[in-house]
Amino acid sequence: MIINSQKRSFGRGAKVSLFTLGTMRATESIEKMYSIIKNAYYVGINHIETAPSYGDAESLIGNSIKKLAIEENIKEKNWVITSKVLPKGDFDFLKNNFKKSLKNLNRKKINNLAIHGLNLKQHLDWVLAGEGKKFISWILEKELVDQVGFSSHGSYSLIKDAINCEVFTFCSLHLHYLDQSKIALAEEAIKKGMGVLAISPADKGGRLYSPSDILIEASKPFHPLELAYRFLLAKGITTLSLGATNKKDFEFAHKLRNSFEKLTKLEKSALNKIEEVSNERLNSTKCEQCRSCLPCPNEVPIPEILRLRNISIGYGQLEFSKERYNLIGKAGHWWEEKNSSFCEECNECVPRCPTKLDIPNLLKETHNLLIENPTKRLWG
């Protein structure tokens, strides 16, 4: 049975469903990938996101789509594919790897290609004046892709530069209800006619598939994840990535497949309730994420650390916050490099804060709350 679902324009490429199937978690076997893609189709998803760095994902997708065409009569042309390349290597390296992607996906061309992990200034320079520029020109000239975009875990200013560089027509960003710091960038991209994909709003957005009792109670009569999805869709975000591992993971994708309208009064009321509860729990210590505290002389990512404090205390998502905090310094340019222990209490940030938060003390508290090894406590 064909499921009708809302499709949105995605830059200059083919229209995509409101949810995108992320395939990084379905690479165990051809049976697993086939099942996940089949389930995605029957809840109205037509957009698949993958990458060569996802192990055997591309070949598993190619074989699964071919098998679905035979066994379920789901035409291969129904699928919109987005794959990625890392911002490194010379032209020949990139060209050869891209040809492997085409072969693995059983395609003569790919709908969308993203520069994956445009996280540093040198990555953007590689695109604008290096081997990346040469590669992008080649794939577009040969019509091997419909459009080129980027994904980024980088700074606000870097993403803004990438959006405005006139090379890309879509982007994948961390856009989450519990972290709205990049929403303004997404809105800017949309105004330019770019497609915008929200990266992992369920998992990286706060592990909302496993909400705290605080969130569950405040969100009633909705599930917190459903509200988070609706928040993003109502903002006009083109599509939301969904890293499904089983059929149950598609529940909200199916329910919200045509959900592009503005927030209802009931949804707004539930979102307001969540914020009221969070504000009450944080009292006068909530970081408003204005970023006025920056730059820090010691390059401590103050807003990101205090955001994790907001999420752990205000929303009760402690395990998620611990996971993210303990990744600091362990994920290269994909995540922050310095945690609260690099704060030297110079207090330069304090007078810049509009609400005059005691930032050094809050950084201490956050470190002691979230650090995985309690014996490594900060400041005694």
Indicate if 39 and 126 belong to the same structural domain. yes
How far apart CA 57 and CA 78 sit, in angstroms, is 19
Over the stretch 200-225, which tens digit does the pLDDT of each residue have? 999 999 999 999 999 999 999 999 99
Final residue before a domain boundary, out of 208, 239, 268: 268
How far apart CA 213 and CA 168 sit, in angstroms, is 41
132 and 101 Cβ atoms separated by less than 8 Å: no
What is the per-residue pLDDT for 277? 98
Residue 375 placed within a domain:
no
What is the per-residue pLDDT for 380? 32
Indicate if 42 and 160 belong to the same structural domain. yes
* Per-residue pLDDT at 40 exceeds 60: yes
- Total domains in the chain come to 2
C-alpha triplet 251, 313, 338: angle, nearest 5°:
100
Indicate if 213 and 260 belong to the same structural domain. yes
173 and 166 Cβ atoms separated by less than 8 Å: no
Range(s) of the domain holding residue 300: 286-370
Over the stretch 116-166, which tens digit does the pLDDT of each residue have? 999 999 999 999 999 999 999 999 999 999 999 999 999 999 999 999 999
Final residue before a domain boundary, out of 221, 241, 268: 268
Over the stretch 192-203, which tens digit does the pLDDT of each residue have? 999 999 999 999
pTM: 0.94
Indicate if 222 and 321 belong to the same structural domain. no
Indicate if 101 and 68 belong to the same structural domain. yes
Encode burial over 343-362: b for 16+ CB neighbours within 10 A, e otherwise: beeeeebeeebeeebebbeb
Residue 112 placed within a domain:
yes
Encode burial over 85-103: b for 16+ CB neighbours within 10 A, e otherwise: bbbebeeeebbeebeebbe
Indicate if 196 and 59 belong to the same structural domain. yes
Distance, C-alpha 259 to centroid of its chain? 20
Over the stretch 330-362, which tens digit does the pLDDT of each residue have? 988 888 999 999 999 999 999 999 999 999 999
Final residue before a domain boundary, out of 241, 268, 295: 268
Indicate if 325 and 264 belong to the same structural domain. no
Contacts of residue 20, defined as CB under 8 A and 6 or more positions apart, other chains included, come to 45, 47, 48, 49, 82, 197, 239, 240, 241, 242
Indicate if 293 and 350 belong to the same structural domain. yes
Indicate if 41 and 109 belong to the same structural domain. yes
Indicate if 12 and 103 belong to the same structural domain. yes
What is the per-residue pLDDT for 2? 57
Looking up residue 117, the CATH number of its domain turns out to be 3.20.20.100
Indicate if 72 and 180 belong to the same structural domain. yes
Residue 276 placed within a domain:
no
How far apart CA 350 and CA 105 sit, in angstroms, is 53
Instruction: Tell me what the mean pLDDT of segment 57-72 comes to.
Output: 97
Residue 274 placed within a domain:
no
How far apart CA 304 and CA 336 sit, in angstroms, is 8
Over the stretch 296-340, which tens digit does the pLDDT of each residue have? 999 999 999 999 999 999 999 999 999 999 999 998 888 899 999
Residue 275 placed within a domain:
no
Indicate if 214 and 301 belong to the same structural domain. no
Residue 232 placed within a domain:
yes
231 and 22 Cβ atoms separated by less than 8 Å: no
Confidence of residue 4 (pLDDT cuts 50, 70, 90): confident
Contacts of residue 80, defined as CB under 8 A and 6 or more positions apart, other chains included, come to 10, 13, 14, 15, 16, 46, 47, 48, 111, 112
Kindly state the percentage of the chain with pLDDT values over 70: 97
Name the average pLDDT for the chain. 94
| 197-to-172, 193, 292, 375 alpha-carbon distances in Å | 5, 13, 27, 40
Closest among 130, 126, 105 to 117, alpha carbons compared: 126
Residue 2 placed within a domain:
no
* Per-residue pLDDT at 374 exceeds 80: no
Over the stretch 10-21, which tens digit does the pLDDT of each residue have? 999 999 999 999
Neighbours of 220 (CB within 10 A): 10
Residue 281 placed within a domain:
no
